[in-house]
Structure 1
């Protein structure tokens, strides 16, 4: 299911949005903007997050911040390669609209938590743009098999 979600397949985008909405059911999100940690390429970012963000905001009453984060380049997939380019060169890959996010509450969502390095870097960039990041959530955690 997670691989289907990462591929941007409709049924799995709706599944993930409903899963997050259930987890957030008791949280008032009416003045909170939802943003997703950018995927490794512009096309993967749109495929994975656009429909999901729209559906989740519809279910929760949150504000959709998808259009205010732009992926400008491509990078290696950190959970696969172990190379955390997003963490070290975030300004080369994404653009965050500071005028939109300044002073607003933000919920950051990522699909896979491996070390947390990419999400921490993205959260730092959001805060540098003036956002007040109040929460972060993840769909799954990478498990290391030895």
Structure 2
């Protein structure tokens, strides 16, 4: 299976691990002055994160996957969302989205296979992000040795994704693709990234 068309390569600085990634938008945090179109993108992402509306992204991601890879190449893939830190927020943000996407694509829904330990809330904008540790609770029997599409709303420092990818390595999982709604656009005051992206 070759999920590498029309994607970029995310290479982690630590260990030089490489992943194929796709993101659909760029995202500016609230502290930045931005134009109306960028604000609309940000509002759409907030609506997704708050569980208000996800239809636009659902259709776009589904259509992109079908166009690029076809249903047959997605066979035996698990769709695994990186969970929000809070169980209630996680359910609101991802449960229905994953159900509908996986049903339409006829792929395995990994929503219930993963959660984040409590008191693990992501804090991407703090200077101590490098010290932040993300710990996941995984259904190891369901995930061991599987091929995965990992999904998250925003790629910022890369810390959360790297933590999960490292954990999944221990289960002999293969991350074939990582999908993000958007990549954060950062200014000079931002914390150092964990990764480099290559076209």
TM-score, structure 1 normalization: 0.84
Highest relative contact order (Cα 8 Å, sep 6+), 1 or 2? 2
Please state how far the C-alpha of 1:82 moved relative to its aligned partner.
Answer: 5.3
Relative distance call for 1:144 and 1:79 in structure 2 (3 A) is same
- How many residue pairs match? The answer is 141
1:142 aligned onto 2:184: yes
Please state how far the C-alpha of 1:77 moved relative to its aligned partner.
Answer: 3.1
CA RMSD of aligned residues (A): 2.0
Post-superposition CA distance 1:36-59 (Å, at most 9, x none):
111121111111111111111122
SS in 2 for 1:44: helix
Q: Which residue of 2 aligns with 1:31?
A: 76
Q: Which residue of 1 aligns with 2:193?
A: none
Q: Which residue of 2 aligns with 1:49?
A: 94
1:21 aligned onto 2:62: yes
Q: Distance in 2 between matches of 1:111 and 1:131?
A: 21
Q: Unpaired segments of 5 or more residues in structure 1?
A: none
Q: Which residue of 1 aligns with 2:26?
A: none
SS in 1 for 2:124: helix
SS in 2 for 1:22: helix
Q: Distance in 2 between matches of 1:60 and 1:67?
A: 18
Instruction: Indicate the structure (1 or 2) with the bigger Cα radius of gyration.
Output: 2
Relative distance call for 1:81 and 1:143 in structure 2 (3 A) is same
Residue in structure 2 matching 1:115, options 157, 163, 187: 157
Q: Which residue of 2 aligns with 1:7?
A: 50
Please state how far the C-alpha of 1:8 moved relative to its aligned partner.
Answer: 1.0
Maintained 8 Å contact 2:85/2:117: no
Q: Distance in 1 between matches of 2:132 and 2:170?
A: 15
Q: Distance in 1 between matches of 2:95 and 2:129?
A: 23
Q: Distance in 1 between matches of 2:156 and 2:115?
A: 23
Residue in structure 1 matching 2:133, options 77, 81, 89: 89
Residue in structure 2 matching 1:104, options 146, 149, 153: 146
SS in 1 for 2:54: helix
TM-score, structure 2 normalization: 0.64
Relative distance call for 1:102 and 1:38 in structure 2 (3 A) is same
